[in-house]
A = this chain, B = another copy of it.
Amino acid sequence: MTDNTIKYQLDEEHIPKAWYNIQADMPTPTPPVLHPGTKQPIGPDDLSPLFPMSLIMQEVSTEREIEIPQPVREIYRMWRPTPLIRARALEKALGTPAKIFYKNEGVSPAGSHKPNTAIPQAFYNKEAGVKRLTTETGAGQWGASLALAGAMFGLDVTVYQVRVSFDQKPYRRALMETYGARCLPSPSDTTAFGRHVLATRPDHPGSLGIAISEAVEIAVQDPETKYALGSVLNHVMLHQTVIGQEAMEQLVMADAWPDVVIGCAGGGSNFAGISFPFIGKGLRGEAKKPRIIAVEPAACPTLTRGTYAYDFGDTGHLTPLVKMYTLGSNFTPPGFHSGGLRYHGMSALVSHLKELGEIEAVAYQQRACFDAAVTFARAEGIVPAPESTHAIKAAIEEALRCKREGKAETILFNLSGHGHFDMGAYIDYFSGRLVDASYDEGELAAALADLPAVG
């Protein structure tokens, strides 16, 4: 009557005791981060106005395992280990011989994978005596997660939210406020950079790059205020590896090893979380390398259309220069529903792996992703966040390829978050208002031509 899902649930003793640091296993080291003025490699002290030293040391560490502090593991217990699900009903709906597994990170209190790094970031800041955190957010998954972490550790949190999301997504803002955080639309008049942007264009819809500039500007002015970033940085990728480590243990329970590992990629953190432990095992020669696929929106195709070059992380050019795939820090993507996939750049670690040929990347338009999401929801019962629909689309494409080729491959993807805050996107989808979005080729060319000259 039904072809049911199978859930692989681990006890909380199986929450990983250490994060996995892929820098230990990289075939070649990632290019150094450069000071924006001198264009010379920066040292830990250069980052100390922004982050506590413990996080800076994680940023540059090449140790393979970094211990997860006990207070962090205790809070992880609220929702970890997350379930790994065998998507039997989806397999049947597709008629594929492939085995599809997904890790459900939507079960966290904030509804996404973001608390995996928000909790340790708040912990290390609290331990360092920090009183206040600033950050930016797009759709609000990250802002809500840092707000949650701030509530857990007694830190004041101020979130600069991209104005178009601030206006369109009041639910996630309300979630941040429920957790006690302050949420401001960016560009705002609370920073010099925000006022500068507003002077040029009073109705500016905002961007993650602008919001980062504002959050950084506030943090550097006060020694008791630090900045927190929800993606892109090495220590964020590190914290997310609990996802892939748990998945690996759960796949052992299922007597399986993936042929393909899939995650959606905005700044790269949930993608890194699910994939890095598998990549590492492959790089160390301990297991067969799976194909690793990063899925991005066609409207903001950093890995598939960007350039691998040094660029700023923000629009105000306050951050260090990072070598990464980028669409240019002045690139503004068109409006589409995956606020978490709108960043112009990409994690340096993910970018380096792409450059080394260790991962693939693919881009999809949003209507096709929502088609896939509705198929998934009706089979598996879970409504995904708009970002996660991209991973589902790629997983379905791989499963259909297996069907054509008659191959019973094992596909693993990360369901990075639930869509309960994003039902407006589904309303648009069912009403036909959700259409594919394209960037302006000329604008992209101009943004890429404007990359900073280095070396």
**B-binding residues in A (CB < 8 A):** 1-2, 4-7, 9, 11-12, 71, 74-75, 77-78, 85, 89, 107, 109, 111, 123, 126-127, 148, 151-153, 170-172, 174-175, 177-180, 373-374, 377-379, 381-383, 418, 420-421, 423-424, 426-427, 430
Q: Is the CB of B2 within 8 A of A74?
A: yes
Q: Is the CB of B109 within 8 A of A430?
A: no
Q: Is the CB of A175 within 8 A of B381?
A: no
Determine the chain B residues whose CB is within 8 A of the CB of A5 once the complex forms. 74-75, 77-78
Q: Is the CB of B11 within 8 A of A180?
A: no
Determine the chain B residues whose CB is within 8 A of the CB of A126 once the complex forms. 1
For A10, the closest partner residue in chain B by CB is: B9
Q: Is the CB of B109 within 8 A of A382?
A: yes
Determine the chain B residues whose CB is within 8 A of the CB of A107 once the complex forms. 107
Determine the chain B residues whose CB is within 8 A of the CB of A420 once the complex forms. 111, 171, 175, 418, 420-421
Q: Is the CB of B179 within 8 A of A378?
A: yes
Q: Which A-B residue pairs are the 9 nearest by beta carbons?
A: A171-B423, A420-B420, A4-B74, A109-B381, A174-B423, A174-B426, A151-B378, A174-B427, A178-B377
A109-B381, A178-B426 are known; give 14 further A-B pairs, CB within 8 A. Answer: A1-B71, A1-B126, A1-B153, A2-B75, A7-B12, A9-B9, A151-B379, A177-B430, A178-B383, A178-B423, A179-B378, A179-B381, A418-B420, A421-B423
Q: Is the CB of A170 within 8 A of B427?
A: yes
Determine the chain B residues whose CB is within 8 A of the CB of A148 once the complex forms. 381
Copies of this chain, complex-wide, total 2
Shortest CB-to-CB span from A229 to chain B, Å, is 21
Q: Is the CB of B1 within 8 A of A77?
A: no
Shortest CB-to-CB span from A263 to chain B, Å, is 21
Shortest CB-to-CB span from A92 to chain B, Å, is 12
Determine the chain B residues whose CB is within 8 A of the CB of A2 once the complex forms. 71, 74-75, 152-153
For A111, the closest partner residue in chain B by CB is: B420
Q: Is the CB of A423 within 8 A of B175?
A: yes
**Contact among B78, B85, B374 for A381, CB-based, below 8 A:** B78
Determine the chain B residues whose CB is within 8 A of the CB of A424 once the complex forms. 170-171, 174
**Contact among B180, B378, B421 for A180, CB-based, below 8 A:** B378
Shortest CB-to-CB span from A179 to chain B, Å, is 6
Determine the chain B residues whose CB is within 8 A of the CB of A430 once the complex forms. 174, 177-178
Determine the chain B residues whose CB is within 8 A of the CB of A381 once the complex forms. 75, 78, 109, 148, 151-152, 179
For A384, the closest partner residue in chain B by CB is: B178
Q: Is the CB of A4 within 8 A of B71?
A: yes
For A425, the closest partner residue in chain B by CB is: B174
For A383, the closest partner residue in chain B by CB is: B178
Determine the chain B residues whose CB is within 8 A of the CB of A171 once the complex forms. 171, 420, 423-424, 427
Q: Is the CB of B374 within 8 A of A178?
A: yes
Question: Considering the chains assembled together, what is the distance between the CA atoms of A203 and B20 in angstroms?
Answer: 60
Question: Considering the chains assembled together, what is the distance between the CA atoms of A111 and B77 in angstroms?
Answer: 19
Question: Considering the chains assembled together, what is the distance between the CA atoms of A109 and B89 in angstroms?
Answer: 15
A-B CB contact pairs (8 Å), 23 listed = A1-B123, A1-B126, A1-B127, A2-B152, A4-B71, A4-B77, A5-B78, A7-B78, A78-B85, A78-B381, A89-B152, A151-B379, A170-B427, A171-B171, A171-B420, A174-B423, A174-B424, A174-B430, A177-B430, A179-B378, A179-B383, A180-B378, A420-B420
Question: Considering the chains assembled together, what is the distance between the CA atoms of A148 and B420 in angstroms?
Answer: 14
Determine the chain B residues whose CB is within 8 A of the CB of A78 once the complex forms. 5, 7, 85, 381
Question: Considering the chains assembled together, what is the distance between the CA atoms of A180 and B377 in angstroms?
Answer: 9
Q: Is the CB of B12 within 8 A of A9?
A: yes
Q: Is the CB of A9 within 8 A of B11?
A: yes
Among A2, A148, A178, A382, the most chain B Cβ lie within 10 Å of the Cβ of A178
Question: Considering the chains assembled together, what is the distance between the CA atoms of A235 and B89 in angstroms?
Answer: 28
Shortest CB-to-CB span from A161 to chain B, Å, is 14
Determine the chain B residues whose CB is within 8 A of the CB of A178 once the complex forms. 373-374, 377-378, 383, 423, 426, 430
For A75, the closest partner residue in chain B by CB is: B4
Determine the chain B residues whose CB is within 8 A of the CB of A111 once the complex forms. 420
Shortest CB-to-CB span from A449 to chain B, Å, is 42
Determine the chain B residues whose CB is within 8 A of the CB of A1 once the complex forms. 71, 123, 126-127, 153
Determine the chain B residues whose CB is within 8 A of the CB of A170 once the complex forms. 423-424, 427
